[in-house]
Structure 1
Amino acid sequence: MWRNYLTVGVRALAKNKVYAFINIFGLAIGIAACLMILLYVRYESSYDDWLPDNDRVFQFQSYYQSLTSSDKFDNQGVPYVTKGALLKDFPQIEAATYVGGGVGITVLKDGQAYTPEDAQLVDSRFLDVVALPMLHGNDRALANPGSAILSEKQAIRFFGTTNAVGRTLTTIIMGVKADYRVTGVFKDLPKNTHMAFGMLLRADMPSLYAQGHNEAFLESWGWTAGWVYVKLKPGVDVATVNSQFDAWKKRNIPDSTTNGQRSNEGDGRTYALVNVRDVHLGKAQNSDMTPGNDRTSIVTFSVIAVLILAMACMNFTNLATARAGQRAREVALRKVLGATRKQLIMQFLGESILLTAIATLVALALAEIAVPWFAHFLDADIALHYFGHGGLLLPILALVLLVGAAGGLYPGLYLSRFQPARVLKANKSASEAEGSGRLRGILVVVQFAVSIGLMACTAIVYGQTLYARSADPGFKRDGLLQVNGIGATSLQGREEALIQQIRKVPGVTAAARTGIGVNTGNTSSTVVGVPGQPEPVQIGIYAIDADYFPTMQIRTVAGRIFDRNRPADDATEPAVPDPEAARAMGARGANIVLNESGVRRLGYTSPQDAVGKIIDYDRGDEGGIMKLTIIGVVTDSRFRSVRTPIEPIMFFVNTNNTNWLDVRYDGNPAEVRAGVERVWRSFAPDVPFKAEFSDAIMARTYQRIDARAQMFGMFALLAVVIGCLGLFGLAAFTAERRTKEIGIRKVLGAGTFDIVRLLVWQFTRPVVIANLIAWPIAWWAMRDWLNQFDARMPLGPTPFLLAGLLALLIAVVTIAAHAVRVARTNPIKALRYE
């Protein structure tokens, strides 16, 4: 019996080559696209699965919500002091470690200075918490200060071999030169990890920060520049631990007084332990190590995968019911010869599974070709494996059965219910059975609603991407080179001479120091007292020099900007903390410039109203209350991506608290950069030259958004192709079924245009209905998506109208060839058997 079913199924496919091609190719595209998306979703969901005991390893995160404004900031990092407080109060913690420190690590090799992006300071318990896969050395490799472990890549880079144990690294950290002995080498970490570690240095933190005159960092609850990881003891419920952090912060974070008001660094802050496997898709996405992702994107692509596969199954159902007339007599004869309905259903399900299996083989071939490109496009370790851990053989077999059943169940039920007497009567056709046409119409509407919705969403995503790139940032972005490291200790006292020489480089027109760069990721805020307001107000605070605004070409809207010739404009303090100088500066006061958001944050009615006002800035016990005079207001500038709201900022001049140098140029970018680098190396050979053009920084910022937009568009296009394949097949079968009707119409006087219009309208009507369904759903989805951006394109009707018109055009073109061919057929051929 099964052999007979197989023979009949193969013959049915061979007899109807167009039907077989459309179904196999459509299913293959759908299954291949579904596999690609699911590989991506699985990759994004498998971050840090490689880490041993990952169910017990957590990152300690802090979330801030301002009590006086809508500002919020979800941070993967926490202050250094939190690690000791956690160990003191939570015996459930087996081990804890601190990573980072907010300092640049410079490595000297062969007279050249390098700053590895993946180098971090750690303490002695790091390997007890994060068990890196060691290639050389063991888990005690970081037990002693002055030791270091490297990844394979970094070991080869610095020593030419992975067996670098016993070698020495010469480093400069906060101006302190020290040697670190390599005690271990670990395997390169996979790309699906949020931890970008390539060089880990075991430092004596108190001693190192004391030498760098930065001891306050180790005790501050408001200074975040690193990460804390903890490993819980077996069986500990993390939810129970997280529920105790409100009481924990009250016990540990001391109160302070700001402008006569009680304040606390814990106000507005909540803390939580987040499992390492959830960090990548968690709500805190500000990591300096690797960019994260959001769960909404993963869910969106999962839904697209299901929709594409469902559309392929709809094609099968549509074409199977459309072909009912060709199989009706076969079904009737089988029933007459004793076949039960169950046997007929199994036959059609078997044919569907056979077709799906063939399509799956084609899909796997397509996927094998596309996966390497896909992985390169996403810069991800995505691969198609059939066996072993993560093998897809069993899921693929399950997918064949599921898709085969989904595509063949209704046709099997539908075809098996034909009554032999009705079918075998002369001039009767079961292809006109009630219900089949209605179902096909519904499925076509659904297919095109999905296609139109995806096209509209793609247009909006692409439009927002263009808008993000072209939106006015409030400063001149092109012709700007950003240099990192001007605040290096070895440059102290020589910065001005360096800048003067850089200004002489051909093509350079201006240069200025700043503490807020283009998308550097750093944030700095404080609270100030505003006369007439009962509560302190939080505002960003960044140091610049007097030439910053002209260099960036930031426009002044009220008052004036800083002037080098006015001593009161300069609030620079000694590089080494000096309590006496701090008190003198506090007594003298300082001038500041606000941006427009800062004016609104402080409660002034207009930029002009803010000029001349005085606010109070509490600098603590050493500096006391400092009077800040607002001398001017500048336009808002967007230094970060369009997802991040523009920060209310007050700028002040302090050349000892800047780390970036912005160089404005007018000429050949490569030549300017090379000229600046030559000057830099002549002044500071031990400080790596790290410079990047502003437009390149923003391109990198939006790189992942662009990649997701392109992925979205690519899979939306595949959905349209699958929908068109189904429509093509339906048009072909419908035209064939209505050949005699069309012949009669032509005999009675209908012209070619009348026939074409008849067939085109039959298939474009579902597309019109699909528009009415797709538009509101796509609008609702895109409205929520656009709300993630602080600056966003207007959500007008254009993308929806264009998507609808494009779908209508595609439908008309798809069926026009059939319509014209049938309309031009000689009616004699259609009526010759009548």
Structure 2
Amino acid sequence: MLQNYIKIAWRNLRKHKFYSFLNIFGLALGLASCLLITLYVVDELSYDKSFDHAERIYRVNSDIRFGGADMKLAVAPDPLAFIMKKDYPQLEAATRLRDKGSFLVRRTNSVNNLKEDQVVFADSTFFEVFSQPLLAGNVSNVLSQPNTMVISERDAVKYFGKENPVGKSLVLDDKETYTVTGVMRNMPAHSHFSNLNMLISMSSLSESREDNWGSHNFNTYFLLRKGTDPQKFEKNFDTIIKNYTGKWVQKIMGASLDQILKSGSYIHYTLIPLTDIHLKSERQAEISANGNIQYVYIFAVVAIFLLVIACVNFMNLATARSSNRAKEVGVRKALGSERSSLISQFLTEAVLLSFIALSLALIIAYLTLPIFNNLANKEIEFPFGSVWFWGICIFTGAFVGVLAGSYPAFFLSAFKPLKVLKNAVATEGKGGYLRNSLVVFQFMISVMLIVGTGVIFRQLNYIQTKTLGFDKDKVLIINDAYVLDKQVNAFKNEILQLPDVQNGTITSYLPTPSSRSDHTFFPVGQMQQDKAINMQFWSVDNDFVSTLDLKMKSGRAFNKDFPSDSTGIIINESAAKILGYADPVGKKIFSQNEKDKKDYTIIGVVKNFHFESLRKNIGALSLILHPSSETMAVRLKGNDVVQTIKQIERVWKSMAPGQPFSYRFMDEDFDNVYRSEQRVGQIFITFAIISIIIGCLGLFGLSAYTAERRTKEIGVRKVLGASVSNIVGLLSRDFIKLVLLAILIGSPIAWYGMNTWLSEFAYHIDMTWWMFAGAGVLAILIALLTVSFQSIKAALMNPVKSLRSE
């Protein structure tokens, strides 16, 4: 019986090649898009799951409000991990990481350095918490001694070739020598540790202090014992804050913790599951740039929409052509076929078509995967060797076939044989209402995707063109200026002599991804906690303000002609507002830590500039005059950038032989902050176009069927004098009404969704009516172009042939 069903289904598909092609290609596009998005979603959801006991590993997050600043940190105080390990038996193991950024690395017998972008200090317990296999070395002691390190398998080959690295040494930044005590397997690609290639023993870090509860610099991870409830365990943080942080606050500020909390300040520690970090954490001091769970949800919904739209096409075309198969149903029923066998026949046709479409979809997805990977910045591969992948494909093919073919099967099998054979069956009743509803649904989704694409690209354009308060164009950033050591100022002076160099500054701090530091300040003589202000604390040189083209609101910038500027400080407008001074210039503020207290005189107020993402409001910022030579920013005139970079490189090599010369541009740094949004926008518009194409395929088929069904009517109208434009308007009118209804339904939904997305940005565009009107006009034009082809073709047909057709 099944073989007979398949044979009849195949004959029917071959007989109606045009409609079969529309169905198969539309369904294949939907399935291919759904497959690519599913691979993306699975890839995003798989982060950090490869570690043993991943479900019991948590990171400590810190939420702090103090001195007018709200901080959401991925780091915790130095002593927290091991105090809690000592006091709470529910904690099986704890470890910390301290990210120190990039280092220049070389072997002891070499003079040429290589740049390692992410080198971290790690506790010896790292391998107790994370089951990262060691290829060489002993897990129990690889990081137990100062000046020891573990390197990845990749770096072992890079620096030592085929030699055994254990026992050999590497020199970092031409200063400290570290002995390699272990080689670990490369970190999993699907981990927020994926870029970690070097772990240095935490005991090598001089800044680590057991009693420093105020400085939050350590990414802290806990491995909880089996059966421990993380939410209940979190309550122990309150005790830690009371017993330890409170004493530290009293010692440094002379105020009790209760007094601090009563003023509206707070400090909270919470746990986040390891497997949630990649998608659900976007905090300061993350080990790596993370993804965004919202984008996963968005793409998952888009995948479902695309699949549903493709299924809608099938249902539309199948029910529209029901009259062509009505006599077949009538004859079969007259010959004794039961309704169940007819349903089976039509479902078999749908499933066969679905599997043909699935086969084509796999080919399309495989061929376009490199393009998709480039868009999404992924390295996704097809899991052809996986049983679950093929199982899901088979299930999807069957499910989509049954889903798409269910309504046509039940609709067609319900025809009464007597009415069908007398040509008295009405195929436009319920089937017509359903088709109209499905067309509305298709274009509703298309309108939503068009609006979403427009909003995303307008927001990105707003980011690119917004006045930032500094000039990011034509600024060259030279990395690792610190290797020049005492020659750094001589290097700067020589660079400034180049004809195409306008200005330059030596600093570790820039308003694009760079170092960050914050301090708490008080007005001199007023060390009350309610007078505290927490702000960014940047060490810069005399040329920082002029190089970045920052604007002064009052006072002045640093000037080498004023020796007193060594104790001067410049604050931004946000800091001035929090301090509450009518005129801050000349006022004194001070900062104090456990070691010393230092007074600063405010010499100027710089206008607010965006030194963090536009997702955040501009916070308080201060600049002090102090050597800090991580990088050098050079403003170019832009006459011959390539030649100028070559000249700068020659100067670098003459002063820092053996050191790699690397650079980047500030505007590229700025763009990288919003790279994920740019990728989302590109992917979004790609799938929006695909959804429109699928919808148009269905509309094209329906318009062709409508024109075919109304052939005689068109002939009569032409004989009576109707023009081509009259006929085209007649055939297009009904479809345009459906598209207009889709616009009315889809626009409010699109507004809500994009308004939610924009709320993530402190600075964003306002959605206006013309954005939705534009999307609606575009949808109408697309529908008109799709329908008009068939309408014009029908309108130009010879009426004599039309009236003779049966």
* Normalised TM-score (structure 2): 0.92
1:135–1:257 Cα change, 3 Å: closer
Match of 1:610 among 559, 583, 608: 583
Give, in angstroms, the shift of residue 269 of structure 1.
2.6
Q: Is contact 2:472-2:666 (8 Å) kept?
A: yes
Q: Give the letter for the 2:554 counterpart.
A: A
Q: Is contact 2:99-2:118 (8 Å) kept?
A: no
1:140–1:687 Cα change, 3 Å: farther
1:265-304 map, 5 Å:
268-287=266-285, 289-304=287-302
Q: Give the letter for the 1:594 counterpart.
A: I
Q: Give the letter for the 2:540 counterpart.
A: I
Match of 2:214 among 199, 207, 222: 222
Does 1:600 pair with 2:584?
no
Give, in whole Å, the separation in 1 of the partners of 2:727 and 2:366: 45
For each residue in 1:378-407, what CA deviation from the matched residue of structure 2 results, as whole angstroms up to 9, or x when unmatched?
332311114437x41111111112211211
Give, in angstroms, the shift of residue 138 of structure 1.
4.8
Match of 1:417 among 393, 414, 418: 414
For each residue in 1:650-697, what CA deviation from the matched residue of structure 2 results, as whole angstroms up to 9, or x when unmatched?
222222x56332222224334433443444454455865543221221
Does 1:9 pair with 2:3?
no
Q: Secondary structure at 2:97's aligned position in 1?
A: strand
Q: Give the letter for the 2:242 counterpart.
A: K
Q: Secondary structure at 1:428's aligned position in 2?
A: coil
Aligned to 1:588: none
Match of 1:248 among 240, 244, 257: 240
Does 1:378 pair with 2:376?
yes
Q: Is contact 2:592-2:598 (8 Å) kept?
A: yes
Runs of at least 5 residues in structure 1 that lack an aligned partner in the other structure: 572-590
Q: Is contact 2:253-2:529 (8 Å) kept?
A: no
Give, in whole Å, the separation in 1 of the partners of 2:795 and 2:29: 32
Give, in angstroms, the shift of residue 198 of structure 1.
4.4
Give, in whole Å, the separation in 2 of the partners of 1:538 and 1:429: 79
Greater mean deviation of Cα atoms: 272-281 or 533-542? 533-542
Give, in angstroms, the shift of residue 114 of structure 1.
2.7
Give, in whole Å, the separation in 1 of the partners of 2:122 and 2:594: 31
Aligned to 1:522: 515
Does 1:513 pair with 2:506?
yes
Q: Is contact 2:60-2:74 (8 Å) kept?
A: yes
Aligned to 2:540: 544
1:684–1:78 Cα change, 3 Å: farther
Q: Secondary structure at 1:570's aligned position in 2?
A: helix
Give, in angstroms, the shift of residue 471 of structure 1.
1.9
Does 1:444 pair with 2:439?
yes
1:649-798 map, 5 Å:
649-655=621-627, 657=628, 659-666=630-637, 667-684=639-656, 689-798=661-770
For each residue in 1:319-353, what CA deviation from the matched residue of structure 2 results, as whole angstroms up to 9, or x when unmatched?
11101101111111112222222222222112111
Q: Give the letter for the 1:410 counterpart.
A: Y
Aligned to 1:580: none
1:456–1:242 Cα change, 3 Å: same
Match of 1:503 among 496, 503, 518: 496
For each residue in 1:430-456, what CA deviation from the matched residue of structure 2 results, as whole angstroms up to 9, or x when unmatched?
323x21111111110110010011011
Give, in whole Å, the separation in 2 of the partners of 1:312 and 1:659: 54
Give, in whole Å, the separation in 2 of the partners of 1:481 and 1:638: 19
Does 1:129 pair with 2:138?
no
Does 1:554 pair with 2:550?
yes
Aligned to 1:586: none
Q: Secondary structure at 2:427's aligned position in 1?
A: helix
Give, in whole Å, the separation in 2 of the partners of 1:278 and 1:833: 65
Does 1:151 pair with 2:147?
no
Aligned to 1:578: none
Runs of at least 5 residues in structure 2 that lack an aligned partner in the other structure: none
Q: Give the letter for the 2:249 counterpart.
A: D
1:420-435 map, 5 Å:
420-425=417-422, 427-432=423-428, 434-435=429-430
Give, in angstroms, the shift of residue 249 of structure 1.
2.0
Q: Secondary structure at 1:705's aligned position in 2?
A: helix
Q: Is contact 1:74-1:283 (8 Å) kept?
A: no
Q: Is contact 1:142-1:202 (8 Å) kept?
A: no
Q: Give the letter for the 1:751 counterpart.
A: S
Q: Is contact 1:259-1:617 (8 Å) kept?
A: no
1:423–1:647 Cα change, 3 Å: same
Q: Give the letter for the 2:703 counterpart.
A: A
Give, in whole Å, the separation in 1 of the partners of 2:511 and 2:658: 24
Greater mean deviation of Cα atoms: 51-60 or 722-731? 51-60
Match of 1:338 among 336, 339, 350: 336
Give, in whole Å, the separation in 2 of the partners of 1:118 and 1:495: 23
Give, in whole Å, the separation in 2 of the partners of 1:404 and 1:600: 64
Give, in angstroms, the shift of residue 310 of structure 1.
0.4
Give, in angstroms, the shift of residue 515 of structure 1.
4.3
Q: Secondary structure at 2:26's aligned position in 1?
A: helix
Give, in whole Å, the separation in 1 of the partners of 2:467 and 2:619: 16
Give, in whole Å, the separation in 1 of the partners of 2:230 and 2:737: 56
Q: Is contact 1:102-1:225 (8 Å) kept?
A: no
For each residue in 1:780-824, what CA deviation from the matched residue of structure 2 results, as whole angstroms up to 9, or x when unmatched?
111111111122223223332222111111111111111111112
1:332-371 map, 5 Å:
332-371=330-369
Aligned to 2:391: 394
Match of 2:223 among 228, 231, 238: 231
Aligned to 2:566: 570
Q: Is contact 2:554-2:606 (8 Å) kept?
A: yes
Give, in angstroms, the shift of residue 169 of structure 1.
2.7
Aligned to 2:178: 179
Give, in angstroms, the shift of residue 366 of structure 1.
0.8
Q: Give the letter for the 2:233 counterpart.
A: V
Q: Is contact 2:93-2:223 (8 Å) kept?
A: yes
For each residue in 1:725-756, what CA deviation from the matched residue of structure 2 results, as whole angstroms up to 9, or x when unmatched?
01000001011011111122222222211111
Give, in whole Å, the separation in 2 of the partners of 1:255 and 1:421: 91
1:46–1:285 Cα change, 3 Å: farther
Give, in angstroms, the shift of residue 647 of structure 1.
2.3
Give, in angstroms, the shift of residue 34 of structure 1.
0.4
Give, in whole Å, the separation in 2 of the partners of 1:526 and 1:135: 42
Give, in angstroms, the shift of residue 176 of structure 1.
4.2
Greater mean deviation of Cα atoms: 311-320 or 280-289? 280-289
Q: Is contact 1:372-1:383 (8 Å) kept?
A: no
Greater mean deviation of Cα atoms: 553-562 or 254-263? 254-263
1:97–1:259 Cα change, 3 Å: closer
1:237–1:261 Cα change, 3 Å: closer
Q: Secondary structure at 1:740's aligned position in 2?
A: helix
Give, in angstroms, the shift of residue 287 of structure 1.
4.9
Q: Is contact 1:258-1:536 (8 Å) kept?
A: no
Give, in whole Å, the separation in 2 of the partners of 1:119 and 1:621: 28
Q: Is contact 2:78-2:218 (8 Å) kept?
A: yes
1:339–1:781 Cα change, 3 Å: same
Give, in whole Å, the separation in 2 of the partners of 1:42 and 1:767: 34
Give, in whole Å, the separation in 1 of the partners of 2:548 and 2:62: 33
Q: Secondary structure at 1:230's aligned position in 2?
A: strand
Count residues with an aligned counterpart. Answer: 793
Q: Is contact 1:37-1:302 (8 Å) kept?
A: yes
Q: Is contact 1:418-1:430 (8 Å) kept?
A: no
Q: Secondary structure at 1:236's aligned position in 2?
A: coil
Q: Secondary structure at 2:77's aligned position in 1?
A: coil
Greater mean deviation of Cα atoms: 636-645 or 398-407? 636-645
